[in-house]
């Protein structure tokens, strides 16, 4: 049984990861490290883990306890990932990084390159991978909308991504903009001068052959979890809806977790809450293709996708441990 250690285990995405992994039949929980909450019961900080009789391990526990072929999940931010990933990799561990430290070519350090953890495009590369950069929630939703459009790339004039995320996407470190009194009753656009996730979307969009300019606007909405992305591909000439829907069917047929909705039905955040699922709506009006994607920002947008990648890395069935649903956060 493969041990999985989590560094930065007190965050929202890390808590969701632990919830999923504790029911995984082929892996066991190793070190659950938190610099800020060492020695405290995990269940006192993560309500979904109240029945897990564990306390957070102290800082640097994982670096002392890991062994060759263990998996280490780095969930403590980019600075930690840059500092610790090389040491774990040199020691023979597999590493999954939740931060944006290694998601783009520009961010990668020297020869240290990670496989981008987007299974719908990089499944083969993820098999037996040693180092994976887990995508952000916004890029995951946007790329699920863009991937099937690659055959139409030459006819696309512009891409617009208008996305709304639950507040857990901002992380667990308190900030004024994340307070209930700030977000309740509001839909707040942010990152208008450039959002860090835009670099990921742009890189992967270009890799698909889509050179059309991207306009990306993220929003925070007063929900704990969930992400809805309204994505628009604007063409130079009218396209047929049947052709675009057929491209999505070909791209995602037989892929676990993805549901292509009937034309009259919109994706639902409630339907994907606590899962690694994505619901996708496709419709076309003249020169505009509209793709709406619903995911759980802590599921397919973070921890669920990490487990999906872990399963591919270790040769397990892709759906393993990803049939559970969460209650609360």
Catalytic residues: 137
Q: Which residues are bridge partners to 288 per DSSP?
A: 234, 285
CB within 8 Å of 66: residues ≥ 6 apart: 3, 5, 30, 31, 72, 88, 91, 93
CA-CA distance, 298 to 203, in Å (whole number)? 23
Cα separation values, 185 from 97, 182, 188, 222, Å: 33, 8, 10, 7
Structure-block tokens of residue 113: 């390159």
CA-CA distance, 299 to 315, in Å (whole number)? 21
152 secondary structure, DSSP code: G
CA-CA distance, 303 to 319, in Å (whole number)? 13
């Amino acid at each position: 049984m493969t041990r999985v250690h989590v560094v930065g285990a007190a965050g929202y995405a890390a808590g969701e990861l632990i919830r999923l992994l504790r029911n995984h039949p082929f892996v066991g929980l190793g070190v659950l490290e938190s610099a800020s909450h060492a020695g405290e019961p995990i269940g006192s900080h993560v309500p979904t883990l109240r029945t897990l009789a564990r306390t957070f391990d102290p800082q640097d526990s994982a670096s002392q306890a890991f062994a060759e072929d263990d998996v280490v999940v780095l969930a403590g931010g980019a600075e930690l990932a840059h500092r610790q990933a090389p040491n774990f990799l040199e020691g023979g561990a597999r590493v999954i990084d939740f931060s944006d430290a290694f998601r783009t070519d520009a961010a990668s350090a020297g020869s240290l390159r990670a496989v981008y953890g987007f299974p719908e495009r990089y499944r083969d590369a993820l098999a037996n991978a040693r180092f994976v950069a887990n995508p952000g929630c916004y890029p995951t939703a946007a790329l699920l909308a863009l991937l099937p459009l690659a055959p139409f790339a030459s006819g696309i004039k512009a891409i617009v991504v208008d996305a709304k995320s639950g507040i857990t996407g901002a992380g667990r470190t308190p900030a004024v903009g994340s307070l209930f009194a700030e977000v309740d009753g509001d839909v707040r656009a942010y990152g208008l001068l450039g959002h860090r996730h835009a670099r990921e979307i742009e890189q992967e969009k270009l890799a698909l052959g889509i050179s059309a300019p991207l306009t990306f606007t993220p929003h925070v909405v007063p929900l704990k979890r969930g992400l809805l992305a309204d994505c628009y591909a604007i063409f130079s000439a009218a396209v047929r809806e049947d052709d675009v829907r057929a491209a999505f069917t070909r791209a995602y047929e037989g892929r676990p977790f993805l549901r292509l909705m009937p034309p009259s039905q919109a994706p639902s955040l409630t339907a994907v809450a606590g899962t690694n699922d994505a619901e996708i709506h496709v419709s076309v009006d003249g020169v505009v293709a509209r793709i709406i994607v619903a995911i759980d920002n802590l599921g397919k947008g973070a921890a669920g996708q990490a487990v999906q990648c872990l399963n591919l890395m270790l040769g397990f069935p892709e759906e393993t441990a990803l049939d559970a649903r969460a209650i609360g956060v």
